[in-house]
Structure 1
Amino acid sequence: MGRPPEPHGAPAPAGTAAAGGTTAAPGPVPGLVDGTAWPRWTLVAVAVATGVLAVSCLLCALCCCRRRRRRRKPGDQEAVGLGSARSSTTAHLPEVDGGESGPGGAPQWGRLQLSLEYDSGSQEVRVGLKQAVDLRARGPGGTADPYARVSLSPPAGRAHETKVHHGTLCPLFDETCCFPVPPQELPRTTLRVQVLDFRRFSPHEPLGELRLPLGAAGLPHVLELWHQLGPPGATEAEPAGELCVSLRYVPSAGRLTVVVLEARGLSPGLAEPYVKLQLARGRRKWKSRKTSARRGTAAPYFNEAFTFLVPVSQIQSVDLVLAVWARGPRLRAEPVGKVALGARASGQPLQHWADMLAHARRPIAQWHRLRPPGEVDEALALRPRLRLPLPGP
């Protein structure tokens, strides 16, 4: 028996092949893909990029939220601790006009170690400056360039200055100086030690001072003790004034250039001041120059340069003496004050000379206090220049 024929136009069963032998893909997405003109890999790339962009935006939003939370927490903490910080800072503010206080509340100016001895044979007082500690810094940098000035009163005028120690509040001096004092004058003599902060172009700042009567010190024996420094007293003004000088040395050419810049603090009664320069070698006057005179001023401005030929082999054996001369009440030129620079000098003049040699070919300017002429001549022990006798008629 045969199978009855299917009616015409009846749909084919699902899963059977249509005319042409092709099979249709199931679902709407394949139909949509087949209906577009773009290739399939382009659509896949766009989908992946869209997904990456969405994830990145989500991560950025999360990071911003976390940063806002972190910023809010430190701000709250700073606002809370601000009042306590202000109160603690106000409670620990140092006093402006007072120094460091000791146990009793008195300001401390530092301590000085020195030795004293009186030699009855030579009738001299030997002062050995050892060191100073706990000095007060007067400048804004919290440090100082201290040096010490030692003198006896009476007699006043002669003083010894130590080397400058840069950038310290505990200088180690280790220097000895001698002062002639007769035995009968010893009970009335007072030792004065001033510790000052060195300033090259301005007045030196006092850091502390010690006054010690020698009559009560018991000098027959060598004493080495620590002494408390007191407040700095008024620096005694030198009646002779000050002189500003610039030094420059060129070793290759053996050329020493001295520039006399200006003077200040001279007596108003002096007329026509000028500066005389003398270069001594072997304790004998060697070369001499002088500036032009300035009229009607106690602070003359010179700015005159002088050049001396000094070989390197002799630069350590020469002495440069600068003297301010002027006409006084007796209407004749007399030396007002002197300053000696060189390897045999001491204090600030020696430091200036050392700075000149350490910085060759570079001008070094500095102010110097004028000393009494007799004191400088005695310290250098200069002998007069040998002069040949003039032939007779």
Structure 2
Amino acid sequence: LQVPQAEVPESTLVMQVYDFNRFAKHDIIGEVRLPLASLSLQHVIEQWSDLVVASKVEEEQLGEICFSLRYVPSTGKLMVLILEAKKLKRMDSHGLSDPFVKVHLILNRKKWKKKTTSVKKNTLSPYFNEAFVFEVPFSQIQNVDLVISIWDHDKVTKNEPIGKLFLGCRATGNQLRHWSDMLANPRRPLTQWHVLQPPEVVDKALGLKSHLKLPLTSR
């Protein structure tokens, strides 16, 4: 982690321990909070700390999504089965949403391929059961990121993102584990629930290269 020197006195390192659950949200066991101002950062620190009850202050809950991954190295086929979502954030004035899912493949930090599910009307717990197949040669599988996002469809205004996550060798935590399990078990579909993250957080982590559109000049 890189923390600017000016931000160290006001920053706190938070380490949380979870009980892993493949088919539901992970349960938090406890946490340790270390104000950086109280630490001597010039040296490596090794110490035991007692876990305490996690802070009740949580980020806004955007929802969870369940999907299955399957990769066949011999044919280069990556299969993504979008199953369902639950506890989605309310986006419409009537307290519901019209969710649909976008599945992007990113190659070398540039958007490469995209698939989209159908729209499910007036629900916070949509069931999709829609499968997509991407052609990804085995030589490229280490260089791709799989980005899954849920959007609220709006006929009048612009569609709004509800939440997002990405998997691949650059991912972390639950997403990296799911991706690694898929690569370690070729041809076997692996299903898992994931917690949605704020879109801007995922976009920053991906560090996507922008596609510049040059203005046309008239002669």
Answer whether TM exceeds 0.5 for this pair: yes
- Cross-structure match for 1:343: 169
- Cross-structure match for 2:118: 292
Mapped to 1, the partners of 2:56 and 2:21 lie a distance apart of 17
Relative to structure 1, the CA distance from residue 307 to residue 208 in structure 2 (aligned partners, 3 Å threshold; closer, same or farther) is same
- Cross-structure match for 1:272: 98
TM-score (norm 2): 0.86
Contact 2:102 2:117 in 1 (8 A): yes
Relative to structure 1, the CA distance from residue 179 to residue 274 in structure 2 (aligned partners, 3 Å threshold; closer, same or farther) is farther
- Cross-structure match for 1:180: 3
Amino acid of the structure 1 residue aligned with 2:207 = A
Question: What secondary structure, in the 3-state scheme, does the structure 1 residue paired with 2:69 have?
Answer: strand
Amino acid of the structure 1 residue aligned with 2:27 = E
Contact 1:243 1:369 in 2 (8 A): yes
- Cross-structure match for 1:197: 19
- Cross-structure match for 1:361: 187
- Cross-structure match for 1:283: 109
> Offset at 1:199?
0.4
- Cross-structure match for 1:249: 71
Fraction of identical pairs, as percent: 50
- Cross-structure match for 2:152: 326
Mapped to 1, the partners of 2:178 and 2:147 lie a distance apart of 13
Is 1:224 matched up with 2:46? yes
> Offset at 1:384?
3.1
Mapped to 2, the partners of 1:343 and 1:392 lie a distance apart of 45
Mapped to 2, the partners of 1:207 and 1:275 lie a distance apart of 31
Question: What secondary structure, in the 3-state scheme, does the structure 1 residue paired with 2:180 have?
Answer: helix
- Cross-structure match for 2:199: 373
> Offset at 1:290?
0.7
Question: What secondary structure, in the 3-state scheme, does the structure 2 residue paired with 1:228 have?
Answer: coil
Q: Which moved more, 1:265-274 or 1:228-237?
A: 228-237
Mapped to 2, the partners of 1:292 and 1:390 lie a distance apart of 35
Relative to structure 1, the CA distance from residue 262 to residue 238 in structure 2 (aligned partners, 3 Å threshold; closer, same or farther) is farther
Aligned pairs for 1:138-177 within 5 A: none
> Offset at 1:182?
5.5
Contact 2:119 2:153 in 1 (8 A): no
Q: Which has the higher contact order (CA 8 A, sep 6+)?
A: 2
Contact 1:335 1:373 in 2 (8 A): yes
Question: What secondary structure, in the 3-state scheme, does the structure 2 residue paired with 1:227 have?
Answer: coil
> Offset at 1:338?
1.0
Superposed CA RMSD in Å reads 2.6
Relative to structure 1, the CA distance from residue 238 to residue 303 in structure 2 (aligned partners, 3 Å threshold; closer, same or farther) is farther
Amino acid of the structure 1 residue aligned with 2:37 = G
Amino acid of the structure 2 residue aligned with 1:276 = K
1:51-87 CA-to-partner distances (Å, cap 9, x unmatched) read xxxxxxxxxxxxxxxxxxxxxxxxxxxxxxxxxxxxx
Relative to structure 1, the CA distance from residue 392 to residue 303 in structure 2 (aligned partners, 3 Å threshold; closer, same or farther) is farther
Contact 1:238 1:370 in 2 (8 A): no
Contact 1:323 1:338 in 2 (8 A): yes
Unaligned runs of 5+ in 2: none
- Cross-structure match for 1:262: 84
Contact 1:206 1:235 in 2 (8 A): no
Q: Which moved more, 1:263-272 or 1:218-227?
A: 218-227
Question: What secondary structure, in the 3-state scheme, does the structure 2 residue paired with 1:252 have?
Answer: coil
Unaligned runs of 5+ in 1: 1-177
Amino acid of the structure 2 residue aligned with 1:318 = V
Amino acid of the structure 2 residue aligned with 1:383 = K
Query: Normalized per residue, which structure has more helix?
Result: 1
Mapped to 1, the partners of 2:215 and 2:37 lie a distance apart of 53
- Cross-structure match for 1:126: none
